[in-house]
Amino acid sequence: MDLALKYGYVGKILRVNLTDWNIEKEDTREDIAKLLLGGNGYAAKVLWEELKPKIDPLSPENKIILMTGPLTGTGAPGSGFWEACFKSPLTGIWGESACGGWWGPMLKFAGFDGIILEGASKDPVYLWIHNGDVEIKSAEGIWGKTVPETEEAIRGEIGVPQARVLSIGPAGEKLVMFAGIAVDYERYAGRKGGGASLGSKKVKAVAVYGEGEIEIAKPKEWENALRECEEAVKKSLATGGGYANGTIGTYDVCNEMGDLPTKYGETGHWDEVADLYYKFSSKYLIKNRACFGCMQACGRVSQVKEGPFATPVYGGPEYETTAGFTAFMLQRDIEPVIKANYLCNIYGLDTISTSHVIAFAMTCYEKGLITKKDTDGLEVKFGDPNVMIELVEKIAHRKGFGDLLAEGVRRVAEKIGGDAPKIALHVKGLEMPYHDPRAGKTQAIAYGVSNTGMDHFHPHETLDVECYGADLGLIPFGLPDPKTIDRFSEDPSKARIAKLVMDYGTIADALVVCKFHQYVNLGPDKYARLLSCATGWDVNGEKLLEIGDRIFNLARAFNIRERIRRKDDVLPPRIMQPATTGSTKGVGITNYESMLNEFYRFEEWDENGIPNPEKLKRLCLKEVAEYIAKLAGLPSNHSKN
Amino acid sequence: MKILVIDREKCTGCRRCELACSFRHFKTYSLARARLHVVHTHGRESEGPVVCTQCGLCEVACPVEGAIIRKAGVVLVTVKCDPTKCVQECIAACPFGVIHFDPKLNKMIKCDLCGGFPACVEACQWNAIQYIEAGAPYALNNKRLIQVRSEKVR
C-alpha cells in the first residue's frame, strides 16, 4: 500500500548530514511506524540500526532525532509534543526527552514527521525548514546568544514572525553535560543533555514554519472519538483531576506526602516551605499558559517585579524546578527560584540537574569534602540563594567551579572522590529528579529500570498511582484500585503496577502526546481509538500497551549493547535510608532487590537484566533478538522456561 | 444576531480553536486553513485569539459582484469568488487579517460562524471565545483585568 502513511503521519523524515551539508528527504518507514509508532519508538529503531555501539556521544557519529508522532498536531488532547532522542552525553546510554510547546506540530505542518541530524558542522549553523524546503544557514552571528535572543534574531532574519524556533543556549554550546533543548522560549526537552549533543554538532537552532495539513483517515469516527475524549478530560478537570493548578500546584501536596526530597535526599518533607505554592500563586503568578492542543494549561507565567531577584515576565517555574531550588538545597524563598528558573531557561540549562549538582556541592561542602579552595572562594552553604544564583551562572558558562559541576553529578562525585560517590544521587549517571521513592515504592523500581536513568518522566511517574490515587484509566488492564494500594509496602507485586504504568507512559512518547493528559480519564482504549481513526489502522488498548512494552524492551536492548546490566539498575544508598521527617519518617527502602527480581521475571529478563531473545522475537524485534542472543552467548532458540 | 466575542485574558494559547476550525471545514488539521488565529506573543505576558467580527469591510472592498455577500448578518464568501478577477482587495480591507486565500479551494476563506454553531467556541474550554448576542452586555469576569484597567484610569 503506497499511501499507507498518508494519515496521521505526514510521511517524510528529514535527514541532514551536517558534515557535508547533505539534505535528504526520506519516506517515513511504514514497517517501523506500524510496530513502534513514532517518537521514541521510531527513534529507538533508527538509532539501534544506525549507531555503532560504544561511540562517544559528543562525537559526529552520534545522531540526534527530533521526532513527532501520529497524533502530534491533531486535535487530540495534548497534541503539542515532540521527542528528542539520542545517545546521551550525560549518561552514555539511551537518551530521550519529551517537550511541549508549539514547535513539534509546526514541524509536521512544515512537512516532516521528524528530523535526523548526523555528522557535525565545522561552523555554527541553524536549519530553516518551511513548507518542505530546508536551508542550512550560518549561525555565526547568533552563536553565544541566549535562548530568547536567539529566537528573536532568527525570526528577524528569516522574516516569518509565526515561525517556531528550537534552540540551545550558551550552556549547550559550551557542552554543559545537562544542557537542554529549548523551544518557544520556555519549553524544554531539558534532561539527558540534548543541548550538549546539538552543541557538539554546532547546531544552534531549528526554525520551522508550515502551511501544510495533517489528514485523518476516518474523519467521522475521529470526530466522535475526539468528542468523547474531550468530555472525559473536562469531566476530570472539573473534579480536580489533572494539572489544573500547574505542576507547581502539587508542591504543597508533595511536601505533605513526603514526596519532596529535602536536604539532598536526606528526607522527604520540609516544614519551612509548607505554604510555598500559596505564596507563589498569590504574588508572582501572572497567568496560565498551554502548549499546543492542550486542555489543561499547566504552564505558569510569573515575574518577580523588583528586588535582587527581579526577572522579566517568563514561563515557569515548574514543580521540579521549585523543588530543586528550595527544599532540596534548604532554600526557603520563591523569589530566587523564579530568578534561577529564568536564568536556566535563557542559558539553556536543565533546571533539575542544575539544582541537583548545586545541592550536591552544598552537601560536599558541609561534609568537608570540598573547601573554599575548590569553589573559587564561595561559601557553598545550604540555603544560600545568592550562592545558588552565582553557581547557575558559573555552570552555564563553565566558569571556575562551574566547569566541574557542568559535568553532571556522577563525574563530579568521581572527581571529588572520598565519600562523594556514595552520597551522589543518580542512577546510570542521571541525577535524581524531585520525587522521593520512599513516598511510594513502585517509583523505586521505575527509577531503577528506566532506560534513561533516574527519571520521573520516562517512562512514567508511577508515584501518581499509589501516592495520589490516579488510576490513569488502567484498571481494565489489571491495575488494582489505587485506593487499595499501600504505598509503603514493598511487595514484589508492585513490579506489575510499575510495568503497566511504564508501558502506558511509553506510549505517550510514541504517539507523541502530552503525558499529563494520561491523568485525566483517558485510558489506553481512548488513545487506541484516536490512533485507529487517525491512521486507519486497527489498534486496541491491549495492542497499544504491547507497543509500549516493545519500545521499552528495544531501548533496554540499546542499553544492553552499551553494556548496561543489573549492576546498573541499583538505587543510590542515600535515598534508601529511612527519611527523618514528615509522613515518610522512618520509612526506608529495604526490599528493593526482591521487587527488582519480580520486575525482571515479569519482563522475562535474565538475572543480568538482559532481555529474553524469545520475548524480543515475540515482540517482532527479530534482529534485536539475534544480537542479544549472540551477546548472551546463547543459542537463538534459547528459552528461559 | 450573535457574534464572536473574545476575552484575551482567558486565552492560554493552546490553539484548539484553530484546530477545531480547520477540522470542521476541511476534515484535516492545518493552522494555515483555520479562519481565525491565535496571536502568541513569544515569551511575554499574553496571547489571544483574533476572530472575524462580521464587520463587512471585505464585502465593501470586493469588486466581484456577489462574491462576498451578507446573509442574516453573516458575511459569506460565495462560489462566485474568483481571485483571478481581482487583486484580493478583501485581504487589504480586513482590519484583523482573518480573510485569506486558500490554494486548495482556489478562493478566499473567512469565518462563516459554522452556520450558528461555531467550532472554535465549542473547542475553547476557557471561554476565551464566546458566541453572544451583538450589543448585549457581557462580563469580562477576570478580576485582574479589571484591576489593571482601574489603575490606569486613576
Give the pLDDT band (50/70/90) at residue B136: low
Give the pLDDT band (50/70/90) at residue A634: low
Higher pLDDT, B142 or A538: A538
Contact A213 B26 (CB under 8 A): yes
Give the pLDDT band (50/70/90) at residue A419: very high
* A74 interfaces chain B, CB cutoff of 8 Å: yes
| % of chain A exceeding 70 in pLDDT | 98
- Minimal C-alpha gap between A489 and chain B (Å): 40
Q: Is residue B121 part of a domain?
A: yes
Residue A165: name the closest of A208, A121, A194 by CA.
A208
Higher pLDDT, B142 or B65: B65
- Minimal C-alpha gap between B100 and chain A (Å): 13
Q: Which CATH class is domain A442-519+540-631?
A: mainly alpha
Can you tell me the distance from the alpha carbon of A295 to that of A312, in angstroms, rounded to the nearest whole number?
27
Q: What is the mean pLDDT of chain B?
A: 83
Give the pLDDT band (50/70/90) at residue B143: very low
Q: Give the pLDDT mean for A627-634.
A: 78
Q: Give the pLDDT mean for A301-330.
A: 92
- Bridge partners for B25 per DSSP: none
pLDDT at B63: 92
* A558 interfaces chain B, CB cutoff of 8 Å: no
Domain count, chain B: 1
A295 CB neighbours in chain B (<8 A) are 14, 16, 125
Give the pLDDT band (50/70/90) at residue A641: very low
Q: Give the pLDDT mean for A606-618.
A: 92
pLDDT at B44: 63
Contact B32 A109 (CB under 8 A): yes
Q: Give the pLDDT mean for A530-541.
A: 94
A135: number of Cβ within 10 Å? 13
A439: number of Cβ within 10 Å? 27
B13 → closest Cβ in A109, A213, A289: A289
Contact A212 B126 (CB under 8 A): no
Contact B44 A313 (CB under 8 A): yes
Instruction: Give the amino acid at A592.
Output: Y
Residue A210: name the closest of A286, A110, A134, A284 by CA.
A110
Whole-prediction pTM: 0.93
A293 CB neighbours in chain B (<8 A) are 14-16, 19
CB A338 within 8 Å of CB A284: yes
Can you tell me the distance from the alpha carbon of A151 to that of A405, in angstroms, rounded to the nearest whole number?
27
Cell numbers found for residue A122: 565545522
ipTM of model: 0.90
Q: Which domain holds residue B29?
A: 2-51+111-153
Cell numbers found for residue A2: 503506497
Contact B40 A102 (CB under 8 A): yes
Q: Encode pLDDT of A502-527 as tens digits.
A: 999 999 999 999 999 988 888 999 99
* A211 interfaces chain B, CB cutoff of 8 Å: yes
Higher pLDDT, B4 or A124: A124
pLDDT at A56: 95
A109 CB neighbours in chain B (<8 A) are 30-32
B20 → closest Cβ in A75, A214, A216: A75
Contact B46 A291 (CB under 8 A): no
Contact B28 A215 (CB under 8 A): yes
C-alpha dihedral (B134, B139, B140, B144), degrees to nearest 10: 160
Contact B43 A290 (CB under 8 A): no
Instruction: Tell me the CATH number of domain A4-209, given options 3.60.9.10, 3.30.930.10, 3.10.129.10, 3.40.190.10.
Output: 3.60.9.10
Cis omega (within 30 of 0) for bond into A70: no
Q: Quick one: CA dihedral A629, A634, A635, A641, positive or negative? A: negative
Task: Note the CATH number of domain A250-431.
Answer: 1.10.569.10
Q: Is residue B60 part of a domain?
A: no
Can you tell me the distance from the alpha carbon of A617 to that of A615, in angstroms, rounded to the nearest whole number?
5
- Minimal C-alpha gap between B57 and chain A (Å): 25
For the ranges A220-229, A342-351, A352-361, A514-523, the lowest mean pLDDT is seen at A514-523
B28 → closest Cβ in A213, A223, A288: A213
Give the pLDDT band (50/70/90) at residue A633: low
Chain A, nearest residue to B16 by Cα: A293
A102 CB neighbours in chain B (<8 A) are 15, 40
Contact B30 A213 (CB under 8 A): yes
Q: Encode pLDDT of A147-163 as tens digits.
A: 999 999 999 999 998 89
Instruction: Give the amino acid at A430.
Output: L
Contact A288 B12 (CB under 8 A): yes
Domain ranges of chain A: 4-209, 250-431, 442-519+540-631
Q: What is the CATH number of the domain that holds B120?
A: 3.30.70.20
pLDDT at B154: 30
For the ranges A164-168, A348-352, B127-131, the lowest mean pLDDT is seen at B127-131
B32 → closest Cβ in A211, A215, A295: A211
Give the pLDDT band (50/70/90) at residue A315: confident
* A234 interfaces chain B, CB cutoff of 8 Å: yes
A290 → closest Cβ in B14, B22, B33: B14
pLDDT at A640: 43
CB A17 within 8 Å of CB A119: yes
Q: Is residue B74 part of a domain?
A: no
Interface of A with B in 354-383 (CB under 8 A): none
Contact B45 A313 (CB under 8 A): yes
Q: Residue A194 — φ and ψ, nearest 5°?
A: -60, -35
Contact A213 B19 (CB under 8 A): no
pLDDT at B6: 86
Contact B125 A219 (CB under 8 A): no
Q: Is residue B118 part of a domain?
A: yes
- Minimal C-alpha gap between B118 and chain A (Å): 15
Give the pLDDT band (50/70/90) at residue A500: very high
Q: Encode pLDDT of A358-391 as tens digits.
A: 999 999 999 999 999 999 999 999 999 999 999 9
Cell numbers found for residue B150: 482601574
A287 CB neighbours in chain B (<8 A) are 9, 12, 45-46
Give the pLDDT band (50/70/90) at residue A638: very low
* A151 interfaces chain B, CB cutoff of 8 Å: yes
Q: Give the pLDDT mean for A125-153.
A: 94
* A536 interfaces chain B, CB cutoff of 8 Å: no
Tell whether the model's pLDDT for residue A28 goes beyond 90.
Answer: yes
- Minimal C-alpha gap between A161 and chain B (Å): 10
Beta carbons within 8 Å of B80's beta carbon, 6+ residues apart? B64, B65, B66, B67
Which residues of B touch chain A, with CB atoms under 8 Å apart? 9, 12-16, 19-20, 22-23, 26-33, 40, 42-47, 123, 125-126
Q: Give the pLDDT mean for B69-87.
A: 90
User: SS in 3 state form for chain B?
Assistant: CEEEEECHHHCCCCCHHHHHHHHHHHCEECCCCCCCEEEECCCCCCEEEECCCCCCHHHHHCCCCCCEEEECCEEEECCCCCHHHCCCHHHHHCCCCCCEEECCCCEEECCCHHHHCCHHHHHCCCCCEEEEECCCCCCCCCHHHHHHHHHHHC
Q: Give the pLDDT mean for A290-306.
A: 91
Q: Is residue B136 part of a domain?
A: yes
Tell whether the model's pLDDT for residue A433 goes beyond 80.
Answer: yes
| % of chain A exceeding 90 in pLDDT | 81
CB A84 within 8 Å of CB A124: no
Q: What is the mean pLDDT of chain A?
A: 92
Strand runs (DSSP E) across A410-540, as ranges?
426-427, 430-431
* A287 interfaces chain B, CB cutoff of 8 Å: yes
B42 → closest Cβ in A151, A230, A290: A151
Give the pLDDT band (50/70/90) at residue B145: very low
